[in-house]
Structures are given as structure tokens and as C-alpha cells.
A and B are shown apart, each in its own frame.
Chain A
Amino acid sequence: MLLLCVGCAENLGTETPTRRSQKAGTLLRECIVPMPADVATWTTPATLAFPDGALWIFQSATLADGSTAPGAALWLASADAACAGPADLLRTPDGNLAAFLTLDAAETSANATRTDGRWLALVPKAGFSDAGVGHLYYDHVLVGPGSFDFELLGTGVCVLDTIAGTCTRAVDAVGSTVLWLGDELPIRSAFVDAGMAYLLACRQPASLMQSCTLARVVPASAEMISAYEYFDAFAGWGASRTQSTQVLDDFALVSLSSNPFHGRYTVVLTDPFDGKVSLRLTPSLEQSFGSQVPLFTAVAPAPDALFDGGAEQISLRGEGGRVIHIAYTAGSFATRELHLASFRFDEVLK
């Protein structure tokens, strides 16, 4: 009988490891940032961190009267204030809504004469401030004719005048505001560390794929293409953009910064599909990022929409970086809402 059974195997089950979830800390709050009374909808903002608060710059806001306010902005002094709201959109000294990022007259005219159902849009993506001067990176995008149709034409940068409520778009040697063509350098996150502005540029070479590289520049020279350096794992920082090394390949919304609580550089990753927010750390930007540490899962988006944004609000941090705040948009296109999630770490991560 025993011999008949030789070679028999009865499967008793299969096991799997469990992902560590919410062990890194606690989700303190996840609020929907109240819209100003005169705003009906708004887009996903780019964040500029100033020492005393965060400046959110929107591609546009649709006002209650049906008009559009391109390049509208909101000032956040704290996370509590953002959740308590509503705050007012920033206005210029003459009382008009600030329009930080707008098409120039020629672009506006070209849009008006197009007959292919497409139009040029400027989409703010990321920025930094240094010595009171803000720099905003934005995409030149051809939108339409369908709701999901868009073509990335390139990347530009503009210099903010927070008093006048404008952002002066830099031009290259031939007078173009497209400083980097196509997906040469699509900036998705920026921060300043030790006198240098570090930029995370993320390309999407294929569907559901993303490849991020690092660039840096002296803040005062951010308008000069030739001033940028790119990280090459073999040769260090150099002038060759095409030799830059992939530092991240997560298909996620990314937000890079330096966190003093951990004593590490961190990149916050937000999955655009399921809203899982995680963190990778590295002791040096010249070294590899560590494994993903799950933080929390953001509120589920509507079936027809994804998460967008995912910027960590560096200037709103609490307890020296132990409490972080992440802004993202979620919801359907018709009812897209801006969320601010606050997370407190249990301990220093290595």
C-alpha cells in the first residue's frame, strides 16, 4: 500500500507574505480642502514651498459665474488652515485674481484660430523657492480633441513675482518658452537642499511605465538650460542630459525632498490607481533608494478618475518632518476634489 503511494503529494495550501501596512505611522487626518466661495472647480495644483507656507498654483479654476481663472493660486499657511478653509484665491494689489501662469497673446490667438479641436495649455507641475524667489516648472500640452487626448510638447520654467501675481516665463536662445522639448525633462518634483535645487524628471516611455532621473541647478540660474546638471551613476553630476541614470521606476506620482526627521532624502509615491501612498528613502541622492515603506491608502477615487498630484507639502511639515502632509486630487472630472492627508511617523526610518 505504501509503495502505491510513493510519489504522492497532497497540497496543504499556499501562503503569501503580508505587506507591512500602516506600521510606519498613523494617518492623522485626510481632509477635503474647501474651495473658496467663488470657485466651482479647480485642477490639480503645483506646490511651491516657501519658508512660511505653501503656494498652490492651478492650471485654472472655474469660477462660480462660469468664467475661467487661468493660473489661479492659493496660499496655505498651515495644514490646519487648509482643512478649515475656505481660503480665498490670491489677488493682485489691484484686486484682480492673480494669474501666475497664462498663455501669451500669440498663444491665445493661435488657440482661437485652431480648427482641429485642440488647444495649447500650460500645466503647472512642480517648483521651488529660494531666497524668496519662486520657480515654477510647467508642461506645454496640446489638449483635445477628446477628453483624454493630450500631447506633451515640452517643459518650461517661469519666475514668480508673488506681489504682482505673475510668473515670467523663461525663454531659450531662440526665444522659445519650451526649454526642453517633448519629454526631455518633464519635471515632476523639485526641492532645494544645501543651495542647490534638485529636480525629479519622470518620463513615461510606454503605457504604465515610468522612468525618473535627477537633475540639479543653482536656483538663481534655473532659467538657463546650460546651468543644469544631470546625475549619472557612473560619472556623477554632468552636463549630459542623455547620460542621466534612472533613479526610480515606480509607476507613481512622485514627490522628492529631504526629511530632517529621518535624516534621509525621501520620495513619496502615490499610486494613481489605488491611492496607496508609500515612501522610499536614501541617505544620499547619489545612492539607490531603499525598498518601499507603505504609509497609508488614500481615499478611493471615482471609477472614471485617477489620483493626481501627490506632492508632499514640505513647508507644512510638523515636528521637524515627523508629520508630513500630502496633497492629491481624486474624484470624477465633474466633482474633482483636492485632498490633504496628514501622516505621522512612529519612528525614524532607515
Chain B
Amino acid sequence: MISRPSRSPRLLPLLALSSVCIAVAARADTGPAEAARETTAPGGDQFGFPRAIPFSRSASRDAPGFAVAMAPRGVRTAAGEIGFAAYQGHGLILRPGFYGLLELEGDEQPGFTPWPSQQIHFWRGSYAFQAALAFDGLGRRLCSRCALEFTLRFRHESEHYTGANSGGLGIDYSDRPIFGDAIILDVATVLWRGNWLLIIRALDDLFLPDRSSYSLGPGLDLHLRYAAWRRIHPFFSGYAEYLFGTEHGDLSYPDAYLVRGLLGIAVPGALGDLMVFASGDVGHRKGLAAYTKEATLGLGVRLAFGSMPGM
């Protein structure tokens, strides 16, 4: 086939630079009270949490969690990550793991649906094999509750839609972009300042040639929470991504972006958080609806597994 033009910037150096900056910023926390807290994430050394710094609180639509969005459209998400094992040594913890996602989304008129169940139209399915490497030794040298982690994932995603049970003509979505296969690099760190927790994650999707409608997908993920109280933590999660379109088959696909924020409260527990939030986003929808660009305000609930570092 015709060779694909390279119009995406090479962001690996930027990713590496951002990780260094994040690590330097993490040195700000030197409070003596925090120094006594544990830094090791629970979950044991097999079939435990897959990361030292969980991705489940992210505002990304791909965040691993069990969630329902009741507005602006019904979105049901069943996604999770699990670590197969945890290998420790030399200040490092390596966690190989697995990620899976199934997301159902309606295509109804925007509004509020308390219990969305009948409007499933778009489907996304995804799985990933991953390995997270936590630099615990380096994190502790930076500050008492700091954590630094690098994750490498091979991820596949496919997009589908619901057809009528009674048959009839299908909808032609053949020109819609294919997420396909990607290798995803991300580096994350935790910054504590008093009772404020900040998770910063920089990530980049490196799509495999001829396996996707995109070439590169850098993103930035933030999670800020106030953790002074034992039962309630107000939080804000922000996420931004930009997918560079490429040529696939005989189509040239446009770029896509999404900026999304969640504002709400988290009810922490031993396994994770119950998050209730309002959401706002600007950008492209997901899956087969990816060509629609819109700005929305919504509402949702999520069960997010994985313990927070330093809590």
C-alpha cells in the first residue's frame, strides 16, 4: 500500500522529559507527618492491584472501573485491571497484569436518564496486557509518600454497534476510525502537599502501522483530591488526549481530541473508591461515534479499584 505520511510529532522525548519534571516536582512534600505513612500499595504479591499508582480515578473514558453515566447519554462501563503478580527487588516492583473494558453507550438525545438500560447503541471492547514497574526506592528518596511508576501496555480496542433483533438493514459504519492496536507508554507520579494528593500521568499511544486509523495519541491525566477527612474526599480529575489520524485502507482519517473533567466526591475504602461526580468534556465522542464533536455536561457514578499511594 501507499506509505503513510508521518505528520505526528515524536513525543517520546517529551514524555521522558515530563517524567523527570514530575519527579522533581514530587520532592516538594517533606512533611514529617506524612513520612510515617506507608508507601507500599496493598494487594499482595499475586492477583492484586496492577499498579502502584492507580489509573482508575482518571477522567479518561478508558479508565478501569465499573461506572454508569446518567447524562448526557447513558454509558455503562465494565472495566478492570488485575495484577498477576508482584516481583520486588532493588527498590523496584514489577507487576505484570491484564486490562479489560466493555463500554455500552446510547445514541439518544442528550438528557438525564436515571437508569439507562434500553438505549445501548455503541459498543467498545478492549483488552490489554501490561507491565507496571514501580520505582519505590527512588520514590521514597524523593519524598516520604512519593511514588513513581512506568507502565507499558499492548492494547487492542474494537468498535461495534447494536443491530435490530428483528433483522433489517444495518448501518454502514465502515468509514469510522478503528482504534485497533497500540503500545501505550505511561509514566505517573504522586505528589502530596499536606492533605492534598495530586497524581500526574503522562501517556502516549503508539499505534501499530496498518492496525489503526491513528498514528500517535499523547495524553495527560491529573487527579487532585483533598484527603483530610476519613470518609469523604472531594476530588477533581482532568484528562486530555489528542489522536493523530492517519491513512488506513483508502481513507485518510481526521485527528480527534478529548478534554474531560470530573468533579465530585470519593468515598474511600479498603479496595478503592466510590466516586460520584459531575463530568464535563469537549471533543470527539468514542467508538463508532468518533466523528461527532461536542461539548457536554454529565453525571455519573464509578467504582474505582486500587489503593491510593500514601493513604
Contacts and interface: CB of A to CB of B under 8 A. Distances in A.
A273 to B, nearest CB: 19
A350 B1 contact: yes
B91 interface: no
Contact of B293 (A2, A15, A292, A293): A15
A7 B294 contact: no
A14 B297 contact: no
B2 interface: yes
Contact of A20 (B71, B177, B247, B291): B247
A6 B293 contact: no
B295 A17 contact: no
A347 B2 contact: yes
A141 interface: no
A19 B252 CA distance: 6
Interface in B132-146: none
Interface in B254-281: 254, 278
A283 to B, nearest CB: 13
A248 B282 CA distance: 42
Nearest to A281: B1
Interface residues of B, number: 32
Interface in A46-76: none
Interface string A333-350: 000000000000011011
B292 interface: yes
Nearest to A293: B250
Contacts of B110: 7-9
Interface in A1-54: 2, 5-20, 23-24
A16 B71 contact: no
Nearest to A9: B110
A181 to B, nearest CB: 33
Contact of B175 (A17, A290, A293, A347): A17
Contacts of B247: 20
A349 B2 contact: yes
Contacts of A5: 297
A290 B249 CA distance: 9
Nearest to B281: A9
B2 A23 contact: yes
Nearest to A4: B297
B43 interface: no
A294 interface: yes
A12 B291 CA distance: 10
Nearest to B256: A15
Contacts of B111: 7
A80 to B, nearest CB: 28
A84 to B, nearest CB: 33
Contacts of A6: 71-72, 112, 278, 297-299
B297 A20 contact: no
Contacts, number: 86
B253 interface: yes
Contact of B251 (A2, A19, A347): A19
A18 B294 contact: no
B294 A9 contact: yes
Contact of B253 (A8, A13, A17): A17
A96 interface: no
Given A9-B110, A349-B2, A291 B250 contact: yes
A7 B72 contact: yes
Nearest to B283: A12
Interface string B224-261: 00000000000000000000010101111110000000
A14 B249 CA distance: 21
A17 B294 CA distance: 18
Given A7-B110, A23-B2, A12 B299 contact: no
Contacts of A350: 1
Contacts of A19: 250-252
Contact of B291 (A14, A293, A346, A347): A14
Interface string B176-209: 0100000000000000000000000000000000
A347 B1 CA distance: 9
B8 interface: no
B70 to A, nearest CB: 8
B46 interface: no
B174 to A, nearest CB: 10
Given A7-B71, A11-B292, A18 B278 contact: no
Contact of A292 (B250, B254, B299): B250
A20 B250 contact: yes
28 contacts: A2-B278, A6-B71, A6-B72, A6-B297, A6-B298, A7-B71, A7-B72, A7-B110, A8-B110, A8-B296, A10-B294, A10-B296, A11-B292, A11-B294, A15-B293, A16-B175, A17-B252, A17-B253, A18-B251, A18-B252, A18-B254, A20-B251, A23-B2, A293-B2, A293-B250, A346-B2, A347-B3, A349-B1
Interface of A: 2, 5-20, 23-24, 278, 290-294, 346-347, 349-350
Interface of B: 1-3, 71-73, 110-112, 175, 177, 213, 245, 247, 249-254, 278, 282, 284, 291-299
Given A9-B296, A20-B247, 11 more contacts: A2-B278, A6-B72, A6-B299, A8-B110, A15-B284, A17-B175, A17-B254, A19-B250, A346-B2, A349-B2, A350-B1
